């Protein structure tokens, strides 16, 4: 996401662009009439930096309390702390915390002026310039802007203290500033001076790429968007979505109706084919059963076979005619001869002795399983389509 910086001071606003962690001055403000469109602001992070020229600063002590309570207390005190400002906006940070009190840095500025710039430029962050100064080691930065020279002390905690001087700055002014820092002046490792050569941008701006800017996110009272326009866009979005959903539902309903009709047709075809298949299977089973029944010997056929084969002295005690065969209990003086005679008959397919023959006086009692051949089908002359002349 791109980052734009807007440095607001007594003469107006200077625009800058951050590219590759470098601050690049811009010739003109973006947008018509020095305003940024809401669409453009969605794809760019806009930061408004309030110059020291417009800032008022106090360092105060407060009893230890939560951040929420402290913010409310400062909001009630800010008008009394800065009587030169009418309903000021402010930013604070806890500089030092002790058991019995907290030292708090408070920056205030003219709310009407800053809010006007913030809304026109759609800035979603508002940062007082002093809060940008930070360094790894204790340092002092000296720079000039318009008719004033500024000296700012800072370290890893951020802002320590500052003083404003009427240009040009003298060495005695610097010594006086360092003396006012108390014990901190013994720790100063470097003095960064931008007086001899004018910098292309205020030295504080480079810090926007190095610090955490989340604490400077604008609140609802600094809302930089046009609420009416947002509501209008949201309404259009909802209406468009409802219209799209309605047409989509209509199309889905039509598709569902069409699919239901096709499913009904397929079901009817499946049922029709199932019925045909069921009828066809029944016909096949009936034909097969008819064929099998046609080749099964009748009880009369079975009795004829036994009567023609069994010799005198052989008696049938029990007879059970089954599918294609006979289960018979016989009495005979010669079981082997009886079995041989049955095997010799063309009408007998198989003969199997069931168990051992039992001796009973002069005869033997035994059981046989006899397979009877099916009679050969008769061939009618009418089936051949040839007529035989009468004699």
- Three-state DSSP class for 98? coil
**Which helix (DSSP H) or strand (DSSP E) does residue 46 occupy?**
strand 44-50
Are 45 and 124 in contact by the 8 Å Cβ rule? The answer is yes
Per-residue pLDDT, averaged over 120-146, amounts to 91
Query: Could you tell me which of 282, 270, 12, 247 has the C-alpha nearest to residue 120?
Result: 12
pTM: 0.56
The pLDDT tens digits for 184-195 are 989 999 999 988
The pLDDT tens digits for 213-266 are 898 988 643 444 445 556 677 788 888 888 888 888 888 888 888 888 888 888
- Three-state DSSP class for 87? coil
Q: Which of 121-125, 161-165, 293-297 has the highest mean pLDDT?
A: 161-165
Residue 390 has pLDDT above 50, yes or no: no
**Which helix (DSSP H) or strand (DSSP E) does residue 152 occupy?**
strand 148-155
Half-sphere exposure of 283 (CA within 13 A, CB side): 6
How sure is the predictor about 354, in pLDDT bands with cuts at 50, 70 and 90? confident
Residue 384 has pLDDT above 60, yes or no: no
- Three-state DSSP class for 388? coil
Are 364 and 331 in contact by the 8 Å Cβ rule? The answer is yes
Please state, rounded to an integer, the average pLDDT across all residues of the chain: 83
d(CA 41, CA 370): 106
Q: In what order do the strands lie in the sheet with 44-50?
A: 22-25, 12-19, 2-9, 44-50, 125-128
Decide the pairing of beta strands 158-166 and 325-332: unpaired
């Amino acid at each position: 996401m791109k980052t734009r910086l807007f440095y607001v001071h007594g003469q107006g606003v200077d625009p800058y662009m951050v590219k590759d962690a470098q601050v690049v001055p811009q010739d003109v403000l973006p947008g018509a009439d020095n305003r940024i469109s809401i669409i453009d602001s969605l794809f760019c992070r806009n930061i408004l930096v309030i110059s020291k020229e417009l800032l008022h600063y106090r360092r105060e002590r407060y009893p230890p309390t939560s951040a929420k309570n402290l913010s409310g207390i400062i909001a009630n005190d800010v008008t009394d702390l800065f009587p030169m400002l009418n309903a000021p906006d402010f930013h604070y940070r806890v500089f030092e915390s002790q058991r019995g009190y907290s030292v708090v840095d408070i920056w205030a500025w003219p709310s009407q002026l800053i809010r006007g710039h913030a809304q026109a430029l759609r800035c979603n962050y508002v940062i007082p310039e002093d809060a940008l100064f930070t360094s790894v080691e204790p340092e002092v930065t000296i720079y000039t802007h318009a008719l004033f020279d500024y000296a700012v002390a800072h370290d890893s905690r951020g802002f320590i203290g500052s003083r404003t001087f009427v240009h040009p700055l003298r060495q005695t002014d610097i010594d006086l500033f360092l003396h006012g820092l108390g014990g901190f002046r013994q720790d100063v490792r470097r003095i960064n001076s931008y007086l001899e050569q004018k910098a292309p941008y205020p030295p504080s701006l480079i810090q926007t790429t190095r610090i955490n800017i989340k604490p400077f996110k604008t609140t609802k009272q600094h809302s930089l968007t046009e609420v009416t326009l947002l509501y209008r866009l949201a309404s259009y979005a909802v209406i468009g979505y409802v219209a799209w959903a309605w047409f989509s539902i209509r199309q889905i309903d039509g598709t569902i109706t069409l699919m239901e009709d096709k499913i009904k047709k397929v079901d009817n075809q499946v049922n029709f084919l199932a019925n045909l298949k069921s009828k066809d299977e029944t016909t096949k089973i009936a034909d097969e059963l008819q064929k099998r029944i046609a080749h099964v010997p009748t009880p009369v056929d079975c009795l004829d076979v036994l009567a023609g084969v069994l010799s005198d002295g052989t008696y049938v005690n029990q007879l059970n005619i089954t599918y294609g065969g006979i289960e018979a209990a016989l009495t005979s003086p010669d079981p082997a001869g009886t079995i041989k005679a049955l095997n010799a008959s063309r009408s007998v397919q198989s003969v199997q002795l069931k168990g051992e023959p039992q001796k009973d006086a002069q005869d033997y009692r035994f059981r046989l399983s006899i397979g009877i051949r099916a009679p050969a089908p008769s061939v009618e002359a009418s089936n051949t389509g040839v007529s035989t002349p009468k004699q």
